[in-house]
Structure 1
Amino acid sequence: MTRSATARTRILNCTLTLSIILHAPLALAKTPVATGTGGAVATISEQASRSALAILDKGGNAIDAAVAAAATLGVTDPFSCGIGGGGFMVIYLAKDKRVITIDHRETAPAAFTPATFLENGKEIDFDTAVASGAAVGVPGTVRGWHEALERYGTMNFKQVLAPAIDVANQGFTVTDIFSRLTRENERKFQQFGTTSALYLRDGKALPAGTMLRNPGMAKAYREIAARGQRAFYTGPMARAIVDAVNRPPVAGGAGVRAGKMTLADLANYEARIRQPVASTYRGYALYGMPLPSSGGVTVAEALNILEGYDLKAMPRADAEHLYLEASRLAFADRNAYLADPEYVDAPVAGLLSKAFAAQRRTAIDPKRAAASVAAGDPYAYQEDQSIPLRPQARPLQKENAHTTHFTVSDKDGNVVSYTFTIESWGGSGIVVPGYGFLLNNEMTDFDFSGPRPNVPEAGKRPRSSMAPTIALKDGKPAFTIGSPGGSTIITTVLQTIVNHVDFGMPMDAAINAPRLSERNGAATSVEPGFAGSAQARALEAFGHTWEATPEEIGAANALVFNPDGTVTAVSEGRRHGVGSALVQRKGH
C-alpha cells in the first residue's frame, strides 16, 4: 500500500459513547459504573454527563439529552468530535416500539472525483492529505441534531445548547489526556494560525491544569441556538467554513492543499433517516447502523458466523480463536462490498443471511488461524442475483481510529446510541476562524484509488466503521454498546457482545477486558501488556500473531437494562482516563 499504515493506525475516528436515563436529580462522585432507577449517563467527559443530566432534570427526553451531551463533548473533547464533523445516531422509540437511525455522515463536495487524492496517477501521502482543506467533507452534525430534535425531541436548540455554551464560556481544565493529544498533534496544529492560537502556547501544547475557554465555539452555538441549523449551513458561519476549506488559515509559510467546497455544498446537505440493520443473536434482537457505516452489517455477519458454535461451553482460548476468525471473514467481505448505498448496490441481504454465515463458517479451522482470507460470495444468498460484480480480495484498509460514542435512555424508555466524529485526532487541524471548531478530515476515509466501492465521488459519503448498537430482549431494551476506534470499533463492539452474552461477563468486565482486533490483516491488533500474557500464549498456539506496536483500543460506553427495572451505565474503567457514569436516583 502506498499510504502510511503507521499514520492510519495513529489516527483514530473520533466517536463517543454516552448513556442517559431520566428521573429525580442527585449529584454523584465520578465513577465509571452507576446503577439507578431513574436517569443515567456515561461519557468520557464529566461536563458532558452533567450537561445531559441538566437537560433530563428540566424534563427533556433522551434525544434532547444526547444533543446536549454531544454539544458539550464538542467543547471538552474537540479533537474527537464536534459540529465540524458528522455521525450516526440509533434511536429506540419506546412509544412506537421501533428503531430508526439518523445518518449525518459528511459528504464529498461536488468538485470531488475518484482522482482527488491522486497525483500523477499515484496516491498522495496520507498525512499530507489529512492536514488540508481537501480532506474536509461537508459537515453533517448540526443537520443531524436538527433532525433528531425536530422529529423525536421535546426541546429546541436554545435549550439543549445552553449547557455547552456555559462550558465554552466559563472554560474547563485541560486534562493529561487532552494535553497529550495536543502534543501528538503539535505539528499539524502549528500549520494553522487559528488552531495554534486556540490550542497551543508558543507553538507547544497547553499543559494539564490550564483553564481553556473557547469563546468562538460559544458564538457558534449561540448562533445555532438563535437561528437553528440554518445558522450553520447558510450565512456568515457557512462562508467562514467555505473560506477555511478553500483558503486554509495557514501559519507562516506552511504549504497546505486547498479544498473546493462551495456554499451550495453546505446549503444542499441532507441527513438521512434510514432503517437500521436488524439481526439476531442468541435470543437478542440487535439493531445497528446501516450503510454507509459498515459497522452494523459487519458486526451482524460475524455474530451470525459465531452463532453456529457453543462458545460458552468451550475453553476460553478456543472461543476467542473463533471470535478472531469470524471477524477476519466478516472484514474480508466488508472491504470487498460495502460503501455508500446511494452509489454502490451492496449485497447487504446476502451478507446478513444466516445461510451465508453457515457457508462462511466452513472456512474456519477450529485449531488454526488463517492467513488473510478472500471475500465470500453473498449474492447467491439474496433474491436479487442480477449483479455481476465479484470483486477481488483487497488488503486491509487502514483508517483513522479515534472517535466518540455515547448512549442514552430516559424514564419513558427511549434509548439513543450515538457515535460521532471529526475523524483523526484534531480532524484536518483547521479551526474555523471566529467560530472555534475544528473541521473534519473525513474524506480520507475514502480509498484513495480504485476501482473499489469506496472511492471518492461527488456527494458520496465515505464508508465508516461506526457501530452504535441497541439490543432488545423479548421486545424490550436489554443493552447498548458502541466505541471509538476506526475499524477497531467493529471488533470492540463484537468482542464486548461476545464477552457479555456468551461468556456471561457483567458489562463493566466485558468492556474492561483486553481487546483483540482481527481485521483480516497479517497480525492482530492488541493493547499494551497483552503480548506475553497467558491469554496471548494460549492463542499463539493456534497460530495467532500480534502487531508489533500495541495501542489502546477504543473507549466504549454502554447501558444495561436490568431485570429488576434498574439501569446500569458503564464507562471505561481505565482507557482514555476513567469515564463518568452518573445516575439521577441510585438503585437499591
Structure 2
Amino acid sequence: MYAKTRIGRWLATAIAAFLLVPATVAQEVSADAPIIDFQTRFLPTVAKNGMVVAPERLAAEIGVSILKRGGNAVDAAVATGFALAVTYPRAGNIGGGGFMLIHLAEEDRQTLIDYRETAPAAATADLYLDDAGEVDRQREFFSHQAAGVPGTVAGMLYALENYGSLSLAEVLEPAIGLAAEGIPVSFALNAEITSRAERLQRNPEAARLFLDASGNAPAPGSLWRQPDLADTLRQIAGQGRDGFYSGVVASHIADDMANNGGLITRQDLADYRALERTPIRGSYRDFTIVSTPPPSSGGIHILQMLNILEGYDLASLGHNSAAYLHRLIESMKLAYADRSRYLADPDYVEVPVAELVDKDYAARLRARIQPDTATPSASIAPGASLPGESTDTTHYTVADASGNVVSNTYTLNFSFGSHIAVPGTGMLLNNEMADFSASPGEANAFGLVQGEANRIEGGKRPLSSMSPTLVFRDGQPWLATGSPGGSVIITTILQTLLNAMDFDLNIASAAAAPRVHHQWLPDRVRVEDGISPDTIRLLENLGHNVESSRRTLGRTQSILLDKGWLYGATDTRRPGGWVAGY
C-alpha cells in the first residue's frame, strides 16, 4: 500500500514545499559556505548509503562526513552529538543528558543507552522548598542547584566504545575544529541566542560566551569562535571519560558549584555512569514499536496510547477529523494520568511497565472513551483499572549503509539550560533537576503533574519524556524518529507514527501535519494552526476545551527506510534543520 503511490506523494510534498519556501542545496562543511536565512532543507531528501537528520546543518553534514569515512551510524551519531554542542547551544550539549536508541543490524538487536543526568548526592526532597513550603522556581530553574550531574559525555563515549568503529580522536576532530576555528552565524543561531539574551546576560560567563559588550548575539554572517569549548573537547579527545569527569574540567565544574551554592562535587562527577537498558517493545497492527524505557515515560505511553487506538479503524475516520482527534485526545488524557502516578527512575521505584502496556488494560481504558462526549480530566484517576517531560530538547536520527540506525534525544532541559556557563569550559549547565517533583502533586515547568515516585533523591535520574523511537515492518527497521518539546514529545511522536502507519503519509508529510496535545492536566487541548476551524467547533461541541497553541508542538527529525532507500525529513516548524545524505 505504501509503495503504490509513494513517488506521487513525494512529488506532491516537494512541489508544495517549493512553492512555499525555497529549498537550499546541500554543501560540504566549510567555513566559507554561504549564510542562508532559515537554512532548512524543506524538500524531502532521498539517499542510498547513509543519512543524518538533525536540527542544524553543520552538525548533520559532519555526521555524514563520518559515514563517508567508513564510520558506522554510532560513530556518526556521536560526532553529530558533539558537533551540536558547538553549533546548536540552546540544546546541543556536553553539560546535559539523554537517551540513545540503537538498532544493530548484524545482531538484529536494539539497545538503549541511558545517559540521563542524576541528582547530586547532596540533593534532598525539599531542595527547592522555601520556609513557607512553597517551591522556589528561581532556584529550581535558574540557579547552580538546578543542575543534575551531566551524562552526555559518558553516554556518547559509552556508545562509541561499545558500538562504534572509529577512534574517539577521529570522531571528535570535526567538533573541535568548529569550536576552535569558528562557525558562521546563521539567522537561526542569531535568533536563538537573541531570544535568551536577557537571561544569559545575568550570568557573567554566559554573557561573555554568547553576547557582545552591548548584550547582543553574534551577528548573522559573523564568525563565532568558542576556544574554551574547544579546549574541553580536546581534553575529552585526549583522555576519554577522565577528560570530563576528573581532571581540569571536573575541577572547573566543582569549583563553580562550590562558589555559587551548587551541589555537584568532584565525587558526583567521578561516580556518574551511563547505563545500558533494554528498550521497551510492543506491537501496533502489522508494526513493531521499539522505544525508550523508564526513566523516560515516553515509550510506555506511546505504546499505551497505540494499544488504545488499535481498537479503532482510524483511517476510516479521516486524518485529523474531529472523530479521529476526539479518540486521540481521550487516549492522551488516560495515558498522562497514569504518568503522573507510576513513572520514575526504575532503579529507585518499581514501575509497572508490563501492566501499563498490557493490551487488555488498554481495552478497559478504551471502553471508557465515549464516542460523542469528552471525558473531563477531573473524572480520570490514574490507573483506575490498572492490574495489580524541555520544549528545547533536541533530537537527531542517523542511518548507515549496513542497516544500523540511531535515534538520539538529548537536552539541557530549558533552551540554554539554566543559562549559567562554567568558567573555563565553554559549557552551559543543565537545569534538569526541574524534572523531579519538587513538591509531589504540583505541576512542573511543563505543566505536568507528578507524584511521589519522582521525588528528589541523591543519585536518582529525573523522569523524562524523551522518546527516541524505532518502528519495524516485516522485521526490518522502517521508521526512526524523535522530538524535543518537554511534555509534548510523547504526543508529537505518537501522531508522527500514526500519520505514517495508519494514514500512509510519507515522512515529510507525517512530520509537517498539524498536531494536537492534551496531557490530562490542565484539561485543555492545544491545537496547532492548520486544524480546520470546523473540526475545532466539532471538538468543542463534544466538550473539549480547545485553545490555539502559541508555540509549535514538537520538532521531529526522521528517517524512513524502505527497499534500500533512506527518506529523510526535518520538521519545518523551526528554522535551521537539515537532512544530509549520500
Q: Secondary structure at the match of 1:487?
A: helix
Q: Quick one: which of 41, 51, 67 aligns to 1:31? A: 41
Separation in 1, partners of 2:535, 2:394: 28
Aligned ranges 1:128-147 → 2 under 5 Å: 128-147=139-158
Separation in 1, partners of 2:531, 2:283: 33
Structure 1's unaligned 5+ residue stretches are: 1-24, 249-257, 386-398
Separation in 2, partners of 1:522, 1:531: 19
Aligned ranges 1:203-214 → 2 under 5 Å: 203-214=215-226
Tell me the amino acid that sits aligned with residue 581 of structure 1: V
Q: Quick one: which of 439, 454, 463 aligns to 2:429? A: 439
Report the counterpart of residue 418 of structure 1 in structure 2.
408
Q: Retained in 1: the 8 A contact 2:364–2:385?
A: no
Q: Retained in 1: the 8 A contact 2:246–2:266?
A: yes
Q: Retained in 2: the 8 A contact 1:531–1:546?
A: no
1:338 is the counterpart of 2:343: yes
Tell me how far 1:116 sits from its aligned partner.
Answer: 0.6
Report the counterpart of residue 541 of structure 2 in structure 1.
541
Separation in 2, partners of 1:319, 1:40: 33
Q: Secondary structure at the match of 1:119?
A: coil
Q: Deviations over 1:56-90 (max 9, x none)?
A: 11110000000111111111111112010001000
Tell me how far 1:158 sits from its aligned partner.
Answer: 0.5
1:115 is the counterpart of 2:126: yes
Separation in 2, partners of 1:77, 1:140: 18
Report the counterpart of residue 498 of structure 2 in structure 1.
498
Q: Quick one: which of 413, 417, 422 aligns to 1:427? A: 417
Higher relative contact order (CA 8 A, sep 6+): 1
Separation in 1, partners of 2:240, 2:472: 34
Closer, same or farther in 2 for the Cα pair 1:98/1:120, shift >3 Å?
Answer: same
Separation in 1, partners of 2:415, 2:299: 24
Report the counterpart of residue 3 of structure 1 in structure 2.
none
Tell me how far 1:229 sits from its aligned partner.
Answer: 1.2
Tell me how far 1:518 sits from its aligned partner.
Answer: 1.0
Tell me how far 1:549 sits from its aligned partner.
Answer: 5.4
Report the counterpart of residue 392 of structure 1 in structure 2.
none
Report the counterpart of residue 395 of structure 1 in structure 2.
none
Tell me the amino acid that sits aligned with residue 95 of structure 2: G
Identity %: 40
Report the counterpart of residue 284 of structure 2 in structure 1.
281
1:218 is the counterpart of 2:230: yes
Separation in 2, partners of 1:54, 1:182: 27
Q: Retained in 2: the 8 A contact 1:467–1:483?
A: yes
Q: Quick one: which of 53, 58, 65 aligns to 1:47? A: 58
Closer, same or farther in 2 for the Cα pair 1:559/1:183, shift >3 Å?
Answer: same
Separation in 2, partners of 1:421, 1:524: 25
Q: Retained in 2: the 8 A contact 1:400–1:423?
A: yes
Report the counterpart of residue 524 of structure 2 in structure 1.
523
1:168 is the counterpart of 2:171: no
Separation in 1, partners of 2:56, 2:359: 39
Report the counterpart of residue 96 of structure 1 in structure 2.
107
Q: Name the stretch that deviates more: 540-549 or 52-61.
A: 540-549
Report the counterpart of residue 364 of structure 2 in structure 1.
359
Closer, same or farther in 2 for the Cα pair 1:479/1:116, shift >3 Å?
Answer: same
Aligned ranges 1:56-67 → 2 under 5 Å: 56-67=67-78
Q: Secondary structure at the match of 2:421?
A: coil
Q: Deviations over 1:210-254 (max 9, x none)?
A: 321111111111111101011100011001111222324xxxxxx
Tell me the amino acid that sits aligned with residue 35 of structure 1: V
1:72 is the counterpart of 2:77: no
Aligned ranges 1:457-468 → 2 under 5 Å: 457-468=457-468
Report the counterpart of residue 170 of structure 2 in structure 1.
159
Report the counterpart of residue 328 of structure 1 in structure 2.
333
1:370 is the counterpart of 2:391: no
Report the counterpart of residue 556 of structure 1 in structure 2.
556
Report the counterpart of residue 409 of structure 1 in structure 2.
399
Separation in 1, partners of 2:341, 2:311: 24
Q: Name the stretch that deviates more: 209-218 or 153-162.
A: 209-218
Q: Retained in 2: the 8 A contact 1:55–1:160?
A: yes
Q: Retained in 2: the 8 A contact 1:102–1:274?
A: yes
Tell me how far 1:407 sits from its aligned partner.
Answer: 1.2
Separation in 2, partners of 1:46, 1:445: 29
1:583 is the counterpart of 2:581: yes
Closer, same or farther in 2 for the Cα pair 1:80/1:261, shift >3 Å?
Answer: same
Tell me how far 1:27 sits from its aligned partner.
Answer: 5.6
Tell me how far 1:514 sits from its aligned partner.
Answer: 0.9
Separation in 2, partners of 1:319, 1:578: 32
Tell me the amino acid that sits aligned with residue 295 of structure 1: G
Structure 2's unaligned 5+ residue stretches are: 1-25, 30-38, 441-450
Closer, same or farther in 2 for the Cα pair 1:344/1:172, shift >3 Å?
Answer: same
Q: Deviations over 1:74-131 (max 9, x none)?
A: 1111111201000100000111101100000000000011111111252333244211
Separation in 2, partners of 1:123, 1:66: 41
Q: Secondary structure at the match of 1:479?
A: strand
Q: Quick one: which of 226, 230, 241 aligns to 2:253? A: 241
1:290 is the counterpart of 2:293: yes
Separation in 2, partners of 1:184, 1:568: 32
Closer, same or farther in 2 for the Cα pair 1:208/1:124, shift >3 Å?
Answer: farther
Tell me how far 1:533 sits from its aligned partner.
Answer: 3.0
1:474 is the counterpart of 2:481: no
Tell me how far 1:578 sits from its aligned partner.
Answer: 5.0
Q: Retained in 2: the 8 A contact 1:133–1:246?
A: no
Q: Name the stretch that deviates more: 447-456 or 203-212.
A: 203-212
Q: Secondary structure at the match of 1:570?
A: strand
Separation in 2, partners of 1:378, 1:214: 54
Separation in 2, partners of 1:288, 1:437: 29
Q: Deviations over 1:414-459 (max 9, x none)?
A: 1100000111011111111111111100001111113611111010
